Amino acid sequence: MNTNVVGSRVIREDAWGKVFGQSKFPADVNLPDQLYGVVVRSPYPHARVRNIVTEKALELAGVVTVLTAKDVPHNSHGVLFRDQPVLADYVRMVGDPVAVVGAETMEIARAAAKLVEIDYEVLPAVFDAEQAMLPEALPLHPELKPTNVLYHMPIRRGTMEDGWALADVVIENEYNTQHVDHAFLQPEAVLAYVDERGHMVVQTATQYAHYDRGEIAHALGLRFSQVQVKTLAVGGAFGGREDISLQIIAALLALTTLRPVKMENTREESFYSHSKRHPMRMYYKTGATKDGKLVAMEAKIVGDAGAYASWSINVLRKSAVHATGPYVIPNVSIDSFAVFTNNPYAGAMRGFGAAQTVLAYESQMDLLAKALGISALEIRLLNHFKVGSTTATGQVLTGSIPLDQCLAKIAPYLQKGDGIL
Amino acid sequence: MKKRGIGLGCAWYGTGYGNGFPDVSSAFVEIHDDGSATVLTGAVDVGQGSNSIYAQIAAEELGLQAQDICVYSADTDATPDSGTTAATRQTYNTGNAVLRAVRQAKVSLLDYAAHKFSCPTAEGIELSGGYIGVKGDPSRRMPLADMVFQARLQGERFISAESSTARSTPVDPETGQGAPYWPYAFGCQVAEVEVDTETGLVHVLKVVAVHDVGKALNPTQVEGQIAGGVAQGIGYALLEELELHEGKIKNPALSSYLIPTALDVPNIEAFFVEEAEATGPFGAKGLGEPAMLPTVAAVINAIDDAVGVRITSLPATPERILQALADKKEEANLKGE
């Protein structure tokens, strides 16, 4: 199809503002007479809040209010399940928000946050996903699941016995990936206020303004039509701005005090107030014939969901679906698990469960090639998906499946000897 | 000693929410009296450039330039819900919604113009270079602005609201069988690394990336996504790790949680393959997430090619490289090599 504008190198309209510094990020917007909010976060990974004493904080000049769980009309939010408290009276991870201070300046709010006295009953915690799966492990979300296994996805295709019988070479390995932070450049910031219509207005950087609106409305008991979420310039996201961070807390402060409220995370607070990439332990066993054809693969993938569900079900589903890599394997048995622990909660991050498995399946491919005495390119050319291939989930691929063209284009860069520089 | 190696990584990625979850995007369009137009959509531009893509799509369809289109997004009081900017779905899904909305607004515009030009069917009308006129008859055309303004005087407005829903079905919970995602995007990357066997430090010298994009709606933005993905992939492979002690983050600062800087990111050669995806806007599929996927494998496989050790736990820190080299040496000694 001939196109004029589509396919051309149009310069982005936001480029000028980003380069010359005119773009308004949420940290850049303020209103007269605004209050500053600072969150008091749990130092414990698992605890029940016995009591909160706010008097000392409130005595500090310039402190307007301290809000806790009892002040939230509907104290929950979450993308799949509303399993995350706005302000916790039961904490499941270090950094869970327990109280918020509203004060005349950011400095006073930070000082007052240190004066909020919280009495915790510290509970036993679990930090290893496979230990958390054991039947004796205490369930962290009994309201959702009787055990810490939030999700199990099996994929069964073909017959494993037949597959292993055909395999001349079998490679078995364990792979581990780490907790990763999105480390977007702009820490979370919010400006929330009740406007002249009586509507709650929340200006922030998010990946989904309409979701934020729904969660704010739910928590505060407002109608969708009474809440406006306006997205300002977003300083990086990568999945870390899908869950709610400060939006509801800032709106709660604004609704309670009827003053504009500004909140802005420090980098340290930012690390505690959004999700992480799931660490995964991946047990892989892959078999190929002496001709280099893949015939069988078994994988067990355990993902550490941390303290809350967030997107973990979808993430571990994506891990399972993509676990074979872009290769035809007729006999497959895959089990992926999302498991609650008391680690920072894991959620969406660029790649979304399909990023971790690349380490495993592509390492297996190179190891198989080495064992078979063929090149890394050859083993991939022998097995990659084409139009008409069937995936491990039985999906027949039609339409645009041009991995062959990608490999053809990159092949010259794999010439041995003089490198690709 | 410094040793060099080359590694290959391939990846695939099912775009969209998947598994039958309703994956819906929406857009409102208004064509103005001066021949410019506004697109309203809930899709957040998180910096990847989606607003520009929608401007290009609308401009293409209306025979205008991208700067003739105002895209306003992600304000819940003004724009319709277009789902999350996630799952590599905004170019594909909201792009489709914008395309459908523009075409919808165009239907009544073309009908009106057909009547004005005494053409019995809207099929005979085209929009091009800011003009609207009869196909094949350059003498019978007028500026789009004049046509829209005349239409207003007769009470005609060219506005629309449309949605687009991506295709996906849930998998069987017992067997995992089904067609959970559509479309799938593919890519492969080659990395060349230099490993210092004394310090264990890995230096990525170059990455070549080839990605399947269906159709590159804006090649500059494709290259930007690939460069960002490779940088993030290098961080994942070599640097980034949240250090936890009993759930507490020991390195909650960019001085101790290391992400790649300009000095860590090598020369990146970005290529793309264009094989149109029939269901995508102008044949496009998404690239956001796929761009980072193959990097980790290319780097880890290149390390093995360079020094013969297989790193199975990320990130491949100098400590892990040195440990693997020591283990390899010990194994060789035991074998009496």
The token duo for B16 is 């969209």
- Whether B259 sits inside 8 A of A174 (CB atoms) is no
Report d(CA B62, CA B126) in Å as an integer.
9
- Give residue B208's domain range: 2-14+181-334
Which of B226, B136, B60 lies closest to A350 in space, CA to CA?
Answer: B226
Q: What angle do CA B300, B302, B307 make, to 5 degrees?
A: 100
User: Are residues B187 and B141 located together in one domain of the fold?
Assistant: no
B contact test, residue of A298, A397, A420 with most B CBs within 10 A = A420
Is the residue at B320 inside a domain?
Answer: yes
Is the residue at B286 inside a domain?
Answer: yes
pTM of the model: 0.98
Task: Say if A417 is an interface residue toward chain B (CB within 8 Å).
Answer: no
Tally of CB atoms within 10 A around B137: 11
Tokens 């003053």, residue? Answer: A259
Which pLDDT tens digits describe chain A residue by residue (421 residues)? Answer: 789 999 999 999 999 999 999 999 999 999 999 999 999 999 999 999 999 999 999 999 999 999 999 999 999 999 999 999 999 999 999 999 999 999 999 999 999 999 999 999 999 999 999 999 999 999 999 999 999 999 999 999 999 999 999 999 999 999 999 999 999 999 999 999 999 999 999 999 999 999 999 999 999 999 999 999 999 999 999 999 999 999 999 999 999 999 999 999 999 999 999 999 999 999 999 999 999 999 999 999 999 999 999 999 999 999 999 999 999 999 999 999 999 999 999 999 999 999 999 999 999 999 999 999 999 999 999 999 999 999 999 999 999 999 999 999 999 999 755 555 5
Query: In chain A, positions 310-329, which contact chain B (CB-CB < 8 Å)?
Result: 314, 317-318, 320-322, 325-326
Task: Say if A416 is an interface residue toward chain B (CB within 8 Å).
Answer: yes
Report d(CA A336, CA A302) in Å as an integer.
6
Last residue of a domain, one of B165, B192, B221: B165
User: Are residues B128 and B189 located together in one domain of the fold?
Assistant: no
Task: Say if B84 is an interface residue toward chain A (CB within 8 Å).
Answer: yes
Is the residue at B174 inside a domain?
Answer: no
Helix (H) or strand (E) holding A294, with range, is strand A294-306
User: Are residues B116 and B186 located together in one domain of the fold?
Assistant: no
- Coarse DSSP helix, strand, coil percentages of chain A, rounded to the nearest 5 percent: 30, 25, 45
Q: What is the pLDDT of residues B61-103, one digit of tens each?
A: 999 999 999 999 999 999 999 999 999 999 999 999 999 999 9
Is the residue at B149 inside a domain?
Answer: yes
- Whether A355 sits inside 8 A of B51 (CB atoms) is no
- Whether B87 sits inside 8 A of A352 (CB atoms) is yes
Task: Say if B11 is an interface residue toward chain A (CB within 8 Å).
Answer: yes
- Whether B12 sits inside 8 A of A394 (CB atoms) is no
Last residue of a domain, one of B165, B189, B223: B165
- Whether B86 sits inside 8 A of A12 (CB atoms) is no
Nearest by CB: A409 against B79, B176, B210: B210
Q: What angle do CA B262, B268, B272 make, to 5 degrees?
A: 140
pLDDT at A167: 98
Nearest by CB: B188 against A173, A385, A407: A407
Is the residue at B19 inside a domain?
Answer: no
A contact test, residue of B6, B8, B82, B314 with most A CBs within 10 A = B8
pLDDT at A415: 77
**Total number of domains constituting chain B:** 2
The token duo for A31 is 């209103």
User: Are residues B29 and B10 located together in one domain of the fold?
Assistant: no
Show residues of chain B in contact with A176, CB under 8 Å.
Answer: 312-314
pLDDT at A416: 57
**Exposed (0-12), middle (13-18) or buried (19+): which is B138, by Cβ within 10 Å?**
exposed
Q: What is the pLDDT of residues B127-164, one digit of tens each?
A: 999 999 999 999 999 999 999 999 999 999 999 999 99
Name the residue of chain B whose CA is nearest to A392's CA. Answer: B177
User: Are residues B8 and B112 located together in one domain of the fold?
Assistant: no
- Those residues whose C-beta lies under 8 Å from the C-beta of residue B137, and which sit 6 or more positions away, are none
| C-alpha B80, offset from chain centre | 21
User: Are residues B157 and B228 located together in one domain of the fold?
Assistant: no
Task: Say if B215 is an interface residue toward chain A (CB within 8 Å).
Answer: yes
Name the residue of chain A whose CA is nearest to B46's CA. Answer: A234
- The CATH number of the domain holding residue B289 is 3.30.365.10
Which of A73, A119, A129, A103 lies closest to A279 in space, CA to CA?
Answer: A129
- Whether A6 sits inside 8 A of B282 (CB atoms) is yes
Report d(CA B206, CA B191) in Å as an integer.
6
Is the residue at B172 inside a domain?
Answer: no
Q: What angle do CA A31, A37, A43 make, to 5 degrees?
A: 160
Last residue of a domain, one of B133, B165, B197: B165
Q: What is the nearest CA distance from B203 to chain A, expressed in angstroms? A: 13
User: Are residues B118 and B140 located together in one domain of the fold?
Assistant: yes
Q: What is the pLDDT of residues B180-228, one digit of tens each?
A: 999 999 999 999 999 999 999 999 999 999 999 999 999 999 999 999 9
Report d(CA A384, CA A329) in Å as an integer.
10
- Whether B44 sits inside 8 A of A207 (CB atoms) is yes
Q: Domains (ranges, CATH) in chain A?
A: 130-180+276-414 (3.30.365.10)
3-state secondary structure B298-330: HHHHHHHHHHCCCCCECCCCHHHHHHHHHHHHH
**Exposed (0-12), middle (13-18) or buried (19+): which is B245, by Cβ within 10 Å?**
exposed
Show residues of chain A in contact with B8, CB under 8 Å.
Answer: 362, 366, 376-377, 380, 410, 414
Show residues of chain B in contact with A18, CB under 8 Å.
Answer: 47
Name the residue of chain A whose CA is nearest to B48's CA. Answer: A236
Which of A338, A321, A402, A88 lies closest to B175 in space, CA to CA?
Answer: A321
Is the residue at B173 inside a domain?
Answer: no
Task: Say if B73 is an interface residue toward chain A (CB within 8 Å).
Answer: yes
Task: Say if B30 is an interface residue toward chain A (CB within 8 Å).
Answer: no
3-state secondary structure A173-236: EEEECCCECCCCCCCCEEEEEECCCCCEEEEECCCCHHHHHHHHHHHHCCCHHHEEEEECCCCC
Show residues of chain A in contact with B189, CB under 8 Å.
Answer: 410
User: Are residues B96 and B223 located together in one domain of the fold?
Assistant: no
Mean pLDDT taken over chain B: 97
Report d(CA A336, CA A281) in Å as an integer.
10
- Those residues whose C-beta lies under 8 Å from the C-beta of residue A134, and which sit 6 or more positions away, are none
Task: Say if B292 is an interface residue toward chain A (CB within 8 Å).
Answer: yes
ipTM score here?
0.97
User: Are residues B150 and B28 located together in one domain of the fold?
Assistant: yes
B contact test, residue of A317, A327, A334, A350 with most B CBs within 10 A = A350
User: Are residues B130 and B185 located together in one domain of the fold?
Assistant: no
Task: Say if A227 is an interface residue toward chain B (CB within 8 Å).
Answer: yes
Beta bridge partners of A227: A200
Report d(CA A153, CA A313) in Å as an integer.
9
Is the residue at B176 inside a domain?
Answer: no
- Whether B289 sits inside 8 A of A181 (CB atoms) is no
User: Are residues B281 and B189 located together in one domain of the fold?
Assistant: yes
- Those residues whose C-beta lies under 8 Å from the C-beta of residue A339, and which sit 6 or more positions away, are A129, A130, A132, A133, A148, A149, A150, A302, A303, A304, A305
Name the residue of chain A whose CA is nearest to B95's CA. Answer: A6
- B156 catalytic residue (yes or no): no
User: Are residues B190 and B153 located together in one domain of the fold?
Assistant: no
